[in-house]
């Protein structure tokens, strides 16, 4: 095999209460990546569609940084090179794990091209190096679901321990991405370094509730647990009409609604496609009313994560 | 029915990572309580075996305080009185939910005697009033498992939302109670009011891992998640030979080991009875070696909680 084309989904990190640890994969949106073996050893990026301003230098682009981490871990002398053609469907700065999709797609593609020296779960650690290049911190809450699919829990970073959570099949995600940019680094800065123990207890009560609700298929419990008292109260201030959007989603039957990752995208969970579409309409109407461009996605939860297209 | 005798189990609160929200019920130890209808309206306590120094004034004893909360909520005019005979098998100040067992037994007994005006889950809110009388704070992490059995999660206090968690049937608990007293109020005081966000994230990662591990029956994940970076590092200083006891439990094959509630009791989880006995021997040997009296319990997880004996 000299060439492979893969897809890695966009993701919703945090999922309400699970700041820095929970994430889910979307079905309908993500990055496509073609990797080709070339004659000259080394990594090259020949094209980036959809976000042409991203760096093509292999030591700066998250995709090739992640792949380099994988190759370094292998300790193989590759007698060929690898060229990357990236098609981005989710804009950087959306809060939908844009950089994570690229890193995930890249390590998954190269691992496949090299006849899978690593298991899928092991790829998370390499994709995290892409995240480090993007934001300065090696987060896993987007790369884990982008690679593995479904809902993932990063139980621990040291050592890395990523868990695939059980969840009910009838679960839909509606996402609205208001067209303003919030940088992850800015969105991290406004969080407090210490939090009241009382708030922390509330948060881990909800994490326990969400994981239990997903495992039991208890939709009401899932909804009650989609509460974030740590990041949402601060970050929502950076998102125009967040409170109105959340209210509109809940009024349209969403189980719960919160910020996707560090925003500005907002996600809502529903139990069926029709309701997910209703929430989408509510989001669209709200931002149209306020003359803010917004892209809306409706998706089931992606059960497989990164996959080979051809 | 004019008389009822009930049992309510001792409990392990926090269960490692779940400070203030998680708890489990023990099988072999707990409080017994007999409640009799009497002619003169009002609550009386005729005897307390096993902890004679506890107050017999109904407005001061946690059992009758909890029952009064239940009666107040009913808004019934009872034309009879209720007399309580309490037999305590777990010492107050053990960290095994001693006051919670009494409160749980009392509200469960009276609810049964009154032909169950409340569902079992609704009794938690009344038993919490007993906890408030005991420690100043209306905690639910001991009363919930004592009433409901199994593993319980207090997702939220306001509104109260108690979840029964799924867990694998082959799970044993070994508890050692070194015979020193640690008051819950003292043990609360030494905790910080604010915690680093980084520690909070570690903690809710482990809560998610523990709930997922219990639901999946993944014993290894349960063990990896039994980590407490918030209370244990501080409270363990009040417990003689805590680190040695934990090491001994892990060396004897325990999945994990931490402080039960606010201590000084220490608990360890194992996957079979023989290993639970081995951990018990390790605990006993350690405290004997250091000439500290210690009571050791070996128990499966109690699946039913409070129950009628006769």
**Does the pLDDT at position A76 exceed 90?**
no
- pLDDT at position B192 is 87
Whether residue B159 has a cis bond before it, omega within 30° of 0: yes
Q: Clarify whether residues A50 and A155 are in a common domain.
A: yes
- pLDDT at position B184 is 61
Q: Clarify whether residues B70 and B151 are in a common domain.
A: yes
- CA proximity to A147, closest of A114, A113, A183, A119: A119
User: Residue B174, by phi and psi: left (phi above 0), alpha (psi -120 to 50) or beta?
Assistant: beta
**Does the pLDDT at position A112 exceed 90?**
yes
- CA proximity to B34, closest of B4, B2, B75, B8: B4
- Phi first, then psi, for residue B221 (nearest 5°) are -65, -40
Cβ A124 vs Cβ A143: under 8 Å: yes
Cβ A268 vs Cβ A173: under 8 Å: yes
- pLDDT at position B52 is 84
* 3-class secondary structure, B83: strand
Cβ distance of A204 and B204 shorter than 8 Å: yes
How many angstroms separate the CA of residue B150 from the nearest CA in chain A?
A: 14
- Domain count for chain A: 2
- CA proximity to A125, closest of A105, A153, A104, A98: A104
Q: Measured between CB atoms, which of B154, B191, B202 is closest to A205? A: B154
Q: How far apart are CA B308 and CA B310, in angstroms?
A: 6
**Does the pLDDT at position B161 exceed 70?**
yes
Q: What digits encode the pLDDT tens for the residues B224-251? A: 999 999 999 999 999 999 999 999 999 9
Which B residues, 102 through 161, put their C-beta within 8 Å of a C-beta on chain A?
A: 153-156, 161
Cβ distance of A200 and B196 shorter than 8 Å: no
Structure tokens at A128: 């995290």
Strand runs labelled E in chain B:
3-13, 22-38, 42-49, 81-88, 151-157, 160-165, 172-178, 194-196, 256-259, 266-270, 294-300, 307-308
A 10 A CB-CB count for B267 gives 30
- pLDDT at position A184 is 61
Between A189 and A185, name the one with better pLDDT: A189
Helices (H), chain A: 62-74, 98-113, 123-135, 143-148, 184-189, 197-216, 219-225, 232-235, 242-251, 273-289
- Phi first, then psi, for residue A300 (nearest 5°) are -80, 175
Question: What is the CATH number for B82?
Answer: 3.30.230.10
Q: Clarify whether residues B150 and B217 are in a common domain.
A: no
- Which residues of chain A neighbour B203 with C-beta distances below 8 Å? 200, 204
Q: Measured between CB atoms, which of B155, B210, B216 is closest to A224? A: B155
Kindly name the residue from B11, B32, B64, B131 that is annotated as catalytic: B131
**Does the pLDDT at position B189 exceed 80?**
no
Mean residue pLDDT across chain B: 95
Q: Clarify whether residues B161 and B177 are in a common domain.
A: no
A and B: number of Cβ contacts within 8 A: 132
Q: Clarify whether residues A160 and A275 are in a common domain.
A: no
- CA proximity to A121, closest of A85, A89, A94, A149: A149
Q: Measured between CB atoms, which of A17, A153, A194 is closest to B209? A: A153
Q: Does A200 touch chain B (CB under 8 A)?
A: yes
Q: How far apart are CA B63 and CA B66, in angstroms?
A: 5
* B214: CB partners within 8 A, 6+ apart: B151, B165, B166, B167, B168, B222
A 10 A CB-CB count for A239 gives 22
Q: What digits encode the pLDDT tens for the residues A249-301? A: 999 999 999 999 999 999 999 999 999 999 999 999 999 999 999 999 999 99
Reported confidence tier of residue B51, pLDDT bands at 50, 70, 90: confident
- pLDDT at position B28 is 80
Q: How far apart are CA A180 and CA B310, in angstroms?
A: 67
Give kind and range of the element (H or E) at residue B275: helix B273-289
Q: Clarify whether residues B151 and B274 are in a common domain.
A: no
Cβ B228 vs Cβ A228: under 8 Å: no
Q: Measured between CB atoms, which of B20, B193, B211 is closest to A212? A: B211
Cβ A38 vs Cβ A44: under 8 Å: yes
A 10 A CB-CB count for B127 gives 35
In residues, how long is chain A? 310
Q: Which of B14, B24, B211 to mutate to test the interface with A (most CBs of A within 10 A)?
A: B211
Q: Clarify whether residues A112 and A38 are in a common domain.
A: yes
- Phi first, then psi, for residue B99 (nearest 5°) are -65, -35
Q: How far apart are CA A121 and CA A238, in angstroms?
A: 34
Q: Measured between CB atoms, which of A19, A155, A215 is closest to B206? A: A155
Between B125 and B183, name the one with better pLDDT: B125
**What's the domain range around B141?**
3-165+303-308
Q: From A17, which residue of chain B is nearest by alpha-carbon distance?
A: B204
Give kind and range of the element (H or E) at residue A3: strand A3-13
Q: Clarify whether residues A183 and A284 are in a common domain.
A: yes
Query: Given CA atoms A174, A250, A237, A287 in this order, what sign does their dihedral have?
Result: positive
* DSSP for residue A45: E
Q: Clarify whether residues A186 and A150 are in a common domain.
A: no
Which B residues, 176 through 195, put their C-beta within 8 Å of a C-beta on chain A?
A: 191-195
Q: What digits encode the pLDDT tens for the residues B238-287? A: 999 999 999 999 999 999 999 999 999 999 999 999 999 999 999 999 99
Residue written as tokens 């993500």? A30
Which A residues, 210 through 239, put their C-beta within 8 Å of a C-beta on chain B?
A: 210-212, 215-216, 221, 224-225, 230
Question: What is the CATH number for A189?
Answer: 3.30.70.890
Q: Clarify whether residues B24 and B129 are in a common domain.
A: yes
* DSSP for residue A117: S
Cβ distance of A208 and B206 shorter than 8 Å: no
Cβ distance of B208 and A208 shorter than 8 Å: yes
Strand runs labelled E in A64-178:
81-88, 151-157, 160-165, 172-178
- Which residues of chain A neighbour B212 with C-beta distances below 8 Å? 153, 163, 165-166, 211, 215
Structure tokens at A85: 């053609």
Which B residues, 10 through 69, put their C-beta within 8 Å of a C-beta on chain A?
A: 17-22
Kindly name the residue from A32, A87, A131, A232 that is annotated as catalytic: A131
Q: Clarify whether residues B39 and B161 are in a common domain.
A: yes
Reported confidence tier of residue A115, pLDDT bands at 50, 70, 90: very high
* 3-class secondary structure, A177: strand
Percent of chain B clearing pLDDT 90 (strictly above): 88
- Which residues of chain A neighbour B22 with C-beta distances below 8 Å? 208
Q: Clarify whether residues A20 and A151 are in a common domain.
A: yes
**Does the pLDDT at position A151 exceed 90?**
yes
**Does the pLDDT at position B185 exceed 70?**
no
Residue written as tokens 């009241």? A196
How many angstroms separate the CA of residue A289 from the nearest CA in chain B?
A: 35
Cβ distance of A22 and B166 shorter than 8 Å: no
- CA proximity to B299, closest of B197, B196, B174, B178: B174
- pLDDT at position B180 is 86
Percent of chain A clearing pLDDT 90 (strictly above): 88
- Which residues of chain A neighbour B221 with C-beta distances below 8 Å? 155, 163
Measure the N-to-C terminal CA separation of chain B; round to a whole number of Å: 11
Residue written as tokens 């298929």? A217
Beta-strand pair B22-38/B151-157: antiparallel
Structure tokens at B80: 């009879």
Any catalytic annotation for residue B184?
yes
Alpha-carbon separation of residue B133 from B103, B108, B127, B221 (angstroms): 10, 18, 10, 37
Q: How far apart are CA A125 and CA B92, in angstroms?
A: 48
Instruction: With both helix axes pointing from N to C terminus, report the angle between A197-216 and B197-216 in degrees, rounded to the nearest 10.
Output: 20
- CA proximity to B269, closest of B239, B301, B232, B234: B301
Beta-strand pair B42-49/B81-88: parallel
Kindly name the residue from A184, A232, A271, A278 that is annotated as catalytic: A184
Beta-strand pair A81-88/A42-49: parallel
Any catalytic annotation for residue B131?
yes
Cβ B153 vs Cβ B211: under 8 Å: yes
């Amino acid at each position: 095999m000299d060439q492979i084309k893969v897809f890695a989904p966009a993701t919703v990190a945090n999922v309400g209460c699970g700041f820095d640890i929970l994430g889910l994969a979307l079905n309908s949106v993500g990055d496509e990546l073609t990797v080709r073996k070339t004659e000259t050893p080394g990594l090259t990026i020949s094209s980036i569609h959809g976000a042409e301003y991203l760096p093509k230098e292999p030591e700066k682009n998250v995709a090739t940084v992640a792949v380099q981490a994988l190759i370094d871990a292998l300790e193989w002398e590759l007698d060929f090179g690898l060229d990357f053609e990236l098609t981005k469907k989710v804009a950087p700065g959306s809060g939908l794990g844009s950089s994570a999709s690229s890193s995930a797609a890249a390590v998954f593609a190269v691992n496949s091209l090299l006849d899978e020296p690593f298991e899928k779960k092991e790829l998370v650690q390499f994709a995290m190096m892409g995240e480090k290049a993007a934001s300065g911190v090696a987060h896993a809450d987007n790369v884990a679901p982008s690679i593995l699919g479904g809902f993932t829990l990063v139980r621990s970073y040291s050592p890395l321990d990523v868990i695939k959570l059980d969840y009910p099949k009838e679960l839909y995600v509606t996402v609205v991405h208001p067209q303003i940019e919030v940088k992850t680094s800015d969105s991290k800065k406004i969080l407090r370094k210490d939090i009241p123990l009382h708030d922390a207890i509330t948060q881990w009560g909800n994490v326990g509730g969400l994981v239990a609700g997903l495992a039991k298929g208890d939709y009401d419990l899932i909804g009650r647990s989609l509460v974030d008292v740590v990041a949402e109260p601060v970050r929502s201030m950076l998102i125009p009409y967040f409170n109105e959007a959340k209210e509109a989603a809940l009024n349209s039957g969403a189980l719960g609604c919160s910020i996707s990752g560090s925003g500005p995208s907002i996600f809502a969970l529903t139990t069926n496609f029709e309701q997910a579409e209703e929430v989408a309409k509510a989001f669209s109407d709200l931002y149209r009313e306020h003359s803010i461009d917004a892209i809306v996605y409706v998706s089931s939860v992606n059960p497989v994560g990164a996959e080979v297209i051809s």
